[in-house]
Amino acid sequence: MEKRKWYFEKIWILLFISFLWIELTFHVITFHTLWELSVIRIILFSLVGSLFLSFLFSLFPFPYSRIGILVMVLFVSIYTIAQLGFDNFMGNYMSLNAATDGAGRVGDYVIEFIRYIKPTYYLCLLPFVILIILLFWKKEWFSYERWNWKHFGVIATIFILLHVVSLGTLHLEWFQNKNQIKSNKELYQEPTLIELSLRQFGTIRFLWRDIVYMIMPGGAEEIPIVDVPEEEIPEPVEPDYNRVIDDTEWIKKMEAETDPVMKNLDEYFLSQPITPKNEMTGMFKGKNLILIMVEAFDMSAIHEEVTPTLYRLSQEGWYFDHYYTPKYSCTTGESEFIGLTSIIPLSTVCTPNTYRNNLYTEAIFSLFNQSNYYSSSYHNWTDEFYERKTIHRNMGSSFFYNHADLNIERVNGWPSDLDMMEKAIPHFIDNTPFFSFMITSSTHFPYDIDSTVVNKNWDKVKNLPYSMKMKRYLAKASELDQGIEYLLNSLEEKGILDDTVIVIFGDHHPLKMELSYLNEASSIDRYEDFNEDRLPFIIYNHGMEAKTISKTSSTFDIVPTLANLFDLEYDPRKYIGKDIFSDEETTVIFTNGSWITDKAMYFSSSGKYKALVDDLEEDYITQTNQKVKNWFTVSEQVLKKDYFRYR
């Protein structure tokens, strides 16, 4: 075979410039800077990747290698644009594994998705356009000379040196942000914190590591996860708030365990403090519970005139004004999963689908079942996105009713939440005590077109001083409000309103809604810090004392908080979240490793933090990062080992 010399080197130059342009364009658009050390690593990775591919392409005749080069650059460009679009569309970045599972969800909105690709994203295609011109109209530039083994040796040496240097940056301290939740070396091995991985390695190397991790996902069990707290939570003497749990059988299973990962999990959970009871324990003991996850439940949906019932509940119940709903890879399904289990989803898959066959004995359904409640769940849409029939059963729901089971009326756009309430309530209202989980859909996007629900409620919103999108969203929220009103009236007519607690949380903020529009109807700046994901959380029981609760909290805290309020038999050590009314610190955990507590906010991508108190301990950020890292590891191993099936 005739070897090509200058042909190879010119391909290397073109591929390197192409990859570097794509990488830097992504970095500037996403992180708004090029002045950071990770860019040096990305340049080195671009040199290594382009060198390797150039050698491969140079082994083929020019017409074939030309096609290969164009296909490769086009693929990388489209992948990078897809990452940018996915973030703008869904609010986070994608792993190939999760994207494959979620293809149907995005596929149903492909036109909508394309509309969310900003013109600047197409700058990633510029190298592809230039390469077409060069490779087809400047072919003479690629004339080549013969090379020998000496020349090949020089190229191989350069490749090895560049590769070693680029990987060496993963170990150098001055390339490592000391506040980073995972070291660069750990992140390279397991790129599960996607945004941080993209920032440290670039899109092309992240894509490669993502593929490797999909094929060989091992290594998590080697990470030490035992985290013995330095300070035990004090147990008040009077009144007696001791929560006594007999660990005898658990310890026997741990001692007999031969699987090191399972044993490590046992050690971790047993090392955690048992949150004591408190003055709120058993406040709702024996009452019914209706837990409602509202689609796109934003604080702007609570409007005195348009949604008077929601407004009433927020004013007469407990309103949590520092509550957050972190978005994970498949937003609705994983917010639901967190709210029912208090487990961190895996960022590389759509967790409720991938791990639907696990047994979740610590899920909220199972806890209520142990107290002889009738547990059931309801949704007014199909099972096309999430396999709720399976996972709800494995969480303890006696039956999951979807739109077909409830005979929900088909309309233009998303169906009516009022219709769902009318159809669902008869299934549980006579089965006291009951725990009912309801998932609404009326407030689902799109907000830039009309629908049956919008048109029905348009007169209520048409004169509001908001954008058209915001008016449509509030028109949809009005339908939700009517459903909640119908629910309250039904409970009152049955004579069980006082004996029923209603809890409302959201799966995410209104997607495809510009923050500038949300700001029109918000009392806080939605651009600031994590306020995009700051949503309402309401607990209501007729006749309760109204209050606003400002302790930082999130979807992770729902299960332990409700378990304590209803005095259910539960082990608080088995949940990532905490009882909001306890003295334990609650932590909002985002998919990229960022977090919020009452003391600080940590921004994982940049490694920076914002103190919320004047006396923040010197090592607080480092210690909290370690806890969050442990929680990610624990959750991953619990899911992969189906831990609660055996414990």
Tokens (6 digits) for 23: 């990488």
Average pLDDT of span 91-118: 68
Q: Does position 141 have pLDDT exceeding 70, yes or no?
A: no
Average pLDDT of span 287-302: 97
Tokens (6 digits) for 52: 């390797």
161 found inside a domain: yes
DSSP assignment of 242-256, as one string? ------HHHHHHHHH
Average pLDDT of span 241-250: 92
Whole-number pLDDT of residue 228: 42
Q: In terms of residue numbers, what domain contains 534?
A: 275-591
Whole-number pLDDT of residue 231: 46
Indicate if 364 and 443 belong to the same structural domain.
yes
Indicate if 207 and 285 belong to the same structural domain.
no
489 found inside a domain: yes
Tokens 């409830």 belong to 406
Average pLDDT of span 47-66: 85
Indicate if 203 and 72 belong to the same structural domain.
yes
Indicate if 446 and 302 belong to the same structural domain.
yes
Indicate if 469 and 347 belong to the same structural domain.
yes
Q: Does position 105 have pLDDT exceeding 80, yes or no?
A: no
DSSP assignment of 264-281, as one string? HHHHHHHHS--PPP-TTT
217: preceding bond cis by omega (within 30 degrees)? no
Indicate if 484 and 340 belong to the same structural domain.
yes
Cα 448–chain centre separation: 25
Indicate if 309 and 414 belong to the same structural domain.
yes
Whole-number pLDDT of residue 230: 47
Q: Does position 226 have pLDDT exceeding 60, yes or no?
A: no
258 found inside a domain: no
Whole-number pLDDT of residue 98: 66
Q: Does position 3 have pLDDT exceeding 70, yes or no?
A: no
433 found inside a domain: yes
Average per-residue pLDDT in the chain? 90
Whole-number pLDDT of residue 177: 85
Domain total in the chain? 2
> What is the percentage of the chain residues whose pLDDT exceeds 70?
91
Other Cβ atoms closer than 10 A to 41: 23
Task: Using DSSP, state whether 589 is helix, strand or coil.
Answer: strand
Phi, psi of 16 (to 5 degrees): -60, -50
> What is the percentage of the chain residues whose pLDDT exceeds 90?
75
Max mean pLDDT range (80-89, 214-223, 303-312): 303-312
The angle at the Cα of 185, spanning 162 to 633, to the nearest 5 degrees, equals 155
- Which range is least confidently modeled, 221-225, 297-301, 628-632? 221-225
Helix (H) or strand (E) holding 292: strand 288-294
Indicate if 189 and 314 belong to the same structural domain.
no
Q: Is residue 248 very low, low, confident or very high in pLDDT (cuts 50, 70, 90)?
A: very high
What sign does the dihedral 610-616-620-624 (CA atoms) show? negative
Q: Is residue 223 very low, low, confident or very high in pLDDT (cuts 50, 70, 90)?
A: very low
DSSP assignment of 55-97, as one string? HHHHTS-HHHHHHHHHHHHHHHHHHHHHHHHHHHHHSS---HH
Average pLDDT of span 518-524: 91
pLDDT tens-place string over residues 412-439: 999 999 999 999 999 999 999 999 999 9
Indicate if 97 and 191 belong to the same structural domain.
yes
247 found inside a domain: no
429 found inside a domain: yes
Residue 149 has, within 13 A of its CA and on its CB side, a CA count of: 0
The beta strands (E) that lie in 356-406 are given as: 374-379, 400-401
Indicate if 289 and 381 belong to the same structural domain.
yes
Give the residue from 194, 217, 240 where a domain finishes. 217
Average pLDDT of span 94-101: 71
Rg (CA), the chain: 27
Indicate if 376 and 493 belong to the same structural domain.
yes
242 found inside a domain: no
Indicate if 195 and 299 belong to the same structural domain.
no
Q: Does position 324 have pLDDT exceeding 80, yes or no?
A: yes
231 found inside a domain: no
Q: Does position 220 have pLDDT exceeding 50, yes or no?
A: no
Query: What pTM does this model have?
Result: 0.90
Task: Using DSSP, state whether 588 is helix, strand or coil.
Answer: strand
d(Cα 598, Cα 596) in Å, to the nearest integer? 7
Helix (H) or strand (E) holding 554: strand 553-554
Q: Does position 225 have pLDDT exceeding 90, yes or no?
A: no
Q: Residue 35 carries which side chain, given as an amino acid letter?
A: W
**Higher-pLDDT residue of 373, 236:** 373
DSSP assignment of 418-480, as one string? HHHHHHHGGGTTTSSSEEEEEE--TTPSP-SS--HHHHHTGGGTTTSSS-HHHHHHHHHHHHH
Whole-number pLDDT of residue 1: 40
Q: Does position 299 have pLDDT exceeding 80, yes or no?
A: yes
**Cα dist. 316→270, 313, 359, 502, 541 in Å?**
39, 5, 37, 12, 9
Q: Are 291 and 472 in contact (CB under 8 A)?
A: no
